[in-house]
């Protein structure tokens, strides 16, 4: 139904560009998550789609119609706000019916739409209550219901779970996922800074950083094949370790020598002959680090701190390392490992789990 | 002694006198009357804690009692006596009042004031608060509209005497009439409508008050509810009347009732402009016309005014407390 296309979109306040070169095609039925650090412009981008912020340059089209100057109410969108934004003086029923009343819909039509949404969200018993008489989770459901009754082409969610406590957040996240399954034809755009929400909900994730799109892809694509060091470190927790190194063998398999390692390790990323001798950053996720006794390894260091969580044991290695300006190296080993603290340990990664970045860009994505 | 020095000494004595009273009273309570030692230390501490609030409240209660409660009771008692104050006549003054056409006019006019002034001042204040909110020169406009608040009622009345003046070279109304070839009129002598010319002076003064309070309330409305309504398709009028106004209804009521109470107390404007002539009397000015001549009737009017204000006052305080929560 609704293809949403952003083409060369720019947002600037005066001379300051907050977003530039935003190009994105969103297909009907997708659940797209905008994720990024605070201040990356993800909410601004969402508000531009909603029509609450002007688009400085470029075009936004929904279903082939350019929407730059169309008022928000006529764009076929509905938005769910972080703070719920319920009308405090109206009952749940009136909150949900407000848009339809404004549009001059008949009473029967309004009752049917509100009733349907209330049933979908189990809000039936609360229809005659005021927002202040509801819990946080119920308020957020009303906000979602207010969006549903308008039957929009595109749903916009602006950090809808941030104001809920941890347990409710998980429950509501699952409710949103189920809601999406009930409405396979509706497109949803969801902004969050929480990567767990992004990974679990998204059909595709858009990572925003440095005023632009860092990478677009399915959650596992971003995890397995991050395009650049930013995405590599942003997706996954704890963040991917980046180690200094040099390419010493090119081809379908790249051979590397690492500053803190010994001998040579390999990565399944292919490299070109001109990469020979290039300084690169080698990325290995903490959960992909393997302890080894081999003479070829990626990293060796003294274990400063161990965190035994039962299911995993996290090792923190001494940092900073001489001449390196990177974060502490972390390894996450499965199961229980006793007596590693203070030990000198050699770590490496399997060839298919070793990422190589030249000038910040993954060899895979060149 | 110079008045300045007197003022400074009064302030010092007042402030340090209070501090001294609280400190000394507390000390006496804790060390002398209920000392926290000896065989009954625990009981003494409990008793001191129970007494302490009353000790601290005592100055306020005493002063309010002498200057507020006693005059109310005294006035009521006085209103039951005759003109000279030497003969008890029961409800006689009230009976005279209810039969007096002058009192009926004053009561009717006062009702007009109570209906019109708060409504007009609140409504204009609300509209101005909304309209000036997004303007670059909105703050200047607000300052101008707020300024009459700083003028005394008598001063404001004098200003409006010029506006309403019969000489076309002075009064703006008659200047306009002069230009279109009409003969001068005296607005404060037009029966019935002259009341509204007087009321407008108070509206002019009070609009600034309403505007400032309502402007702050409008800014307190969560921006998201407005954005949500924009997405829901509300036009600016629907946004204002269906989303914004209901959310600040509590504040509107407080402003409205506050002005209502003020209206029931204002006599300066009528006194200055017409002296209650031409059918413009209201209860306070009617009361003034009997003061010192027939204190029995004057105090009876004062009691009537208090009875009328009381319910509005209670409602006002209730609303204000609800707003604070």
Per-residue pLDDT, A2: 56
Q: Is A360 in the same domain as A293? A: yes
Q: Does A282 touch chain B (CB under 8 A)?
A: no
- Please list every residue in chain B whose beta carbon sits closer than 8 Å to the beta carbon of residue A98: 229, 232, 234, 242
- Residue whose C-alpha is closest to residue B244's, from B160, B107, B113, B131: B131
Q: Which of B222, B232, B249 sits opposite A102 (nearest CB)?
A: B232
Query: Do the Cβ atoms of A85 and B233 come within 8 Å?
Result: no
What span, in angstroms and rounded, lies between the C-alpha atoms of A26 and A20? 18
- Please list every residue in chain A whose beta carbon sits closer than 8 Å to the beta carbon of residue B228: 79, 81, 85-87, 146
Per-residue pLDDT, A319: 58
What span, in angstroms and rounded, lies between the C-alpha atoms of B152 and B97? 30
**Residue A218: φ, ψ to 5°:** -70, 160
Query: Rounded to an integer, what is the distance from CA B143 to the centroid of its chain?
Result: 21
Query: Do the Cβ atoms of A81 and B224 come within 8 Å?
Result: yes
Place of tokens 């009353």: B54
Count the helix, strand and coil residues of chain A and give each as a percent rounded to the nearest 5.
30, 35, 35
B265 to A305, B7, B287: CA distances (angstroms):
76, 29, 11
Cα end-to-end distance, chain A, whole Å: 34
pLDDT tens per residue across span B177-207: 889 988 888 888 888 999 999 999 999 999 9
Q: Is A115 in the same domain as A197? A: yes
pLDDT tens per residue across span B9-53: 999 998 999 899 999 988 888 888 888 787 888 888 888 888 889
Report the CATH number at residue A74: 3.40.50.300
pLDDT tens per residue across span A116-129: 999 888 898 999 99
| Structural domain harbouring A273 | 234-365
What span, in angstroms and rounded, lies between the C-alpha atoms of B36 and B49? 11
Q: Is A124 in the same domain as A247? A: no
- Please list every residue in chain B whose beta carbon sits closer than 8 Å to the beta carbon of residue A71: 230
Query: Do the Cβ atoms of A89 and B246 come within 8 Å?
Result: yes
For chain B, percent of residues with pLDDT exceeding 70: 100
Question: Of the candidates A188, A212, A233, which is a domain's last residue?
Answer: A233
Looking at residue A238, the DSSP 8-state letter turns out to be S
Q: Is A139 in the same domain as A285? A: no
What span, in angstroms and rounded, lies between the C-alpha atoms of A260 and B149? 76
Handedness of CA B286, B292, B297, B303 (dihedral sign): positive
- Residue whose C-alpha is closest to residue A63's, from A145, A182, A185, A148: A185
Per-residue pLDDT, B119: 96
Report the CATH number at residue A339: 2.40.50.140
Q: Which of A72, A83, A146 sits opposite B224 (nearest CB)?
A: A83
Q: Is A203 in the same domain as A288? A: no
Please state the CATH superfamily assignment of the domain spanning residues B97-324 in this structure: MetI-like (1.10.3720.10)
Q: Does B277 touch chain A (CB under 8 A)?
A: no
Interval B150-176 mean pLDDT: 90
In DSSP notation, A150-161 reads: T--SEEEEESTT
pLDDT tens per residue across span A248-261: 999 999 999 998 88
Question: Of the candidates A171, A203, A233, which is a domain's last residue?
Answer: A233
Is residue B285 scored above 60 in pLDDT? yes
Q: Is A84 in the same domain as A212? A: yes
Q: Using CA coordinates, name the residue in chain B closest to A156.
A: B231
Beta strands in A53-170 (DSSP E): 57-62, 65-66, 77-80, 154-158
The total domain count for chain A is 2
Q: Is A327 in the same domain as A202? A: no
- Please list every residue in chain A whose beta carbon sits closer than 8 Å to the beta carbon of residue B242: 98
Beta strands in A203-240 (DSSP E): 204-209, 212-217
Interval A273-300 mean pLDDT: 91
Query: ipTM for the complex?
Result: 0.83
**C-alpha angle B157/B158/B161, rounded to 5°?**
85
Is residue A326 scored above 60 in pLDDT? no
Q: Is A193 in the same domain as A120? A: yes
Q: Is A276 in the same domain as A208? A: no
Q: Does B228 touch chain A (CB under 8 A)?
A: yes
Query: Do the Cβ atoms of B247 and A88 come within 8 Å?
Result: yes
Per-residue pLDDT, A1: 46
What span, in angstroms and rounded, lies between the C-alpha atoms of A139 and A121? 11
Asked if B263 and B113 count as a contact pair (C-beta separation under 8 A), the reply is: yes
Is residue B265 scored above 90 in pLDDT? no
Per-residue pLDDT, A339: 86
Interval A198-225 mean pLDDT: 93
Q: Which of B227, B238, B249 sits opposite A85 (nearest CB)?
A: B227
Asked if B93 and B63 count as a contact pair (C-beta separation under 8 A), the reply is: no
What span, in angstroms and rounded, lies between the C-alpha atoms of A144 and A157? 9
Q: Is A173 in the same domain as A261? A: no
- Please list every residue in chain B whose beta carbon sits closer than 8 Å to the beta carbon of residue A148: none
Q: Is A316 in the same domain as A191? A: no
**C-alpha angle A299/A301/A307, rounded to 5°?**
105
Interval A173-183 mean pLDDT: 89
Interval A50-66 mean pLDDT: 92
What span, in angstroms and rounded, lies between the C-alpha atoms of B76 and A334? 88
pLDDT tens per residue across span B118-131: 999 999 999 999 99
- Residue whose C-alpha is closest to residue A40's, from A189, A229, A192, A221: A192
- Residue whose C-alpha is closest to residue B283's, from B113, B85, B64: B113
Helix B283-290 / helix B249-265 crossing angle, nearest 10 deg: 20
Interval A273-283 mean pLDDT: 91
Question: Of the candidates A233, A265, A289, which is a domain's last residue?
Answer: A233
Query: Do the Cβ atoms of B230 and A83 come within 8 Å?
Result: no
Per-residue pLDDT, A332: 93
- Please list every residue in chain A whose beta carbon sits closer than 8 Å to the beta carbon of residue B325: none
pLDDT tens per residue across span A124-170: 899 999 999 998 889 999 999 999 999 899 999 999 998 888 888 88
Interval A316-329 mean pLDDT: 65
The secondary element (H helix, E strand) that includes residue B175 is helix B172-179
Contacting residues for A251 by C-beta, under 8 A, at least 6 apart: A270, A271
Q: Does A166 touch chain B (CB under 8 A)?
A: no
Interval B92-103 mean pLDDT: 90
Q: Is A259 in the same domain as A115? A: no
Every domain of chain B and the residues it spans: 3-78, 97-324
How many distinct helices (H) and strands (E) make up chain B? 16, 0
Interval B103-131 mean pLDDT: 93
Q: Using CA coordinates, name the residue in chain B closest to A72.
A: B231
Looking at residue B69, the DSSP 8-state letter turns out to be I
Is residue A343 scored above 60 in pLDDT? yes
* C-alpha gyration radius of chain A: 25
């Amino acid at each position: 139904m609704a293809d949403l296309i952003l083409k060369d979109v720019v947002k600037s306040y005066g001379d300051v560009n907050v977003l530039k070169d935003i190009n994105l095609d969103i297909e009907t039925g997708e659940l797209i998550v905008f994720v990024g650090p605070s201040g990356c412009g993800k909410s601004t981008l969402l508000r531009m789609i909603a029509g609450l912020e002007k688009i400085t340059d470029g075009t936004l089209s929904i279903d082939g119609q350019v929407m730059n100057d169309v008022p928000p109410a006529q764009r076929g969108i509905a938005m769910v706000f972080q703070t719920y934004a319920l009308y405090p003086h109206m009952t749940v029923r009136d909150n949900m019916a407000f848009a339809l009343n404004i549009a001059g819909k008949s009473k029967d039509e309004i009752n049917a739409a509100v009733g349907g949404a209330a049933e979908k969200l189990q809000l039936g018993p609360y229809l005659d209550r005021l927002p202040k008489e509801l819990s946080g989770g119920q308020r957020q459901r009303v906000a979602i219901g207010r969006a549903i009754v308008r039957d929009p082409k595109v749903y916009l969610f602006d950090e809808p779970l941030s104001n809920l406590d941890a347990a409710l957040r998980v429950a509501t996240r699952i409710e949103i996922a189920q809601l999406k399954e009930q409405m396979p034809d509706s497109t949803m755009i969801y902004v969050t800074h929480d990567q767990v929400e992004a990974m679990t909900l998204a059909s595709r994730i858009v990572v925003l950083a440095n005023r632009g799109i860092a990478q677009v892809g399915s959650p596992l694509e971003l995890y397995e094949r991050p395009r650049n060091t930013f995405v590599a470190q942003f997706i996954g927790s704890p963040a991917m370790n980046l180690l200094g190194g040099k390419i010493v063998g090119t081809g379908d398999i790249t051979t590397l020598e690492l500053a803190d390692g010994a001998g040579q390790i390999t990565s399944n990323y292919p490299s070109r002959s001109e990469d020979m001798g290039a300084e690169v950053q080698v990325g290995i996720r903490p959960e992909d680090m393997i302890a080894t006794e081999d003479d070829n390894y990626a990293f060796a260091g003294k274990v400063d701190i161990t965190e035994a969580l039962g299911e995993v044991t996290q090792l923190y290695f001494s940092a900073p390392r001489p001449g390196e300006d990177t974060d502490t190296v972390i390894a996450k080993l499965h199961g229980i490992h006793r007596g590693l603290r203070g030990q000198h340990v050699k770590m490496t990664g399997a060839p298919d789990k070793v990422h190589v970045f030249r000038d910040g860009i993954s060899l895979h994505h060149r | 002694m110079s008045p300045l020095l007197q003022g400074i000494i009064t302030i010092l004595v007042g402030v340090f006198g209070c501090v001294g009273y609280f400190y000394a009273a507390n000390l006496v309570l804790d060390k002398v009357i209920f000392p926290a030692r000896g065989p009954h230390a625990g009981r003494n501490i409990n008793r001191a804690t129970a007494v302490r609030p009353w000790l601290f409240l005592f100055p306020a209660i005493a002063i309010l009692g002498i200057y507020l409660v006693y005059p109310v009771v005294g006035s009521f008692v006085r209103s039951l006596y005759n003109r000279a104050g030497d003969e008890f006549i029961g409800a006689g003054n009230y009976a005279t009042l209810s039969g007096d056409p002058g009192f009926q006019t004053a009561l009717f006019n006062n009702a007009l004031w109570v209906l019109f002034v708060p409504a007009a001042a609140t409504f204009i204040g609300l509209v101005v608060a909304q309209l000036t909110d997004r303007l670059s020169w909105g703050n200047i406009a607000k300052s101008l509209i707020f300024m009459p608040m700083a003028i005394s009622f008598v001063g404001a009345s004098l200003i409006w005497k010029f506006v309403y003046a019969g000489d076309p070279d002075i009064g703006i109304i008659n200047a306009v009439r002069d230009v279109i070839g009409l003969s001068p009129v005296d607005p404060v002598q037009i029966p019935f409508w002259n009341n509204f010319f007087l009321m407008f002076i108070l509206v002019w003064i009070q609009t600034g008050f309403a505007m400032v309070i309502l402007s702050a309330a409008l800014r307190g409305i969560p921006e998201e509810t407005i954005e949500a309504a924009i997405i829901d398709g509300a036009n600016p009028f629907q946004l204002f009347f269906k989303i914004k106004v209901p959310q600040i209804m509590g504040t509107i009521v407080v402003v409205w009732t506050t002005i209502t109470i003020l209206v029931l107390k204002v006599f300066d404007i009528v006194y200055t402009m017409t002296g209650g002539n031409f059918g413009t009397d209201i209860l306070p000015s009617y009361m003034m016309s009997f003061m010192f001549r027939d204190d029995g009737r004057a105090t009876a009017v004062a009691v009537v005014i208090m009875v009328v204000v009381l319910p509005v006052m209670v409602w006002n305080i209730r609303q204000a407390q609800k707003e604070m929560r």
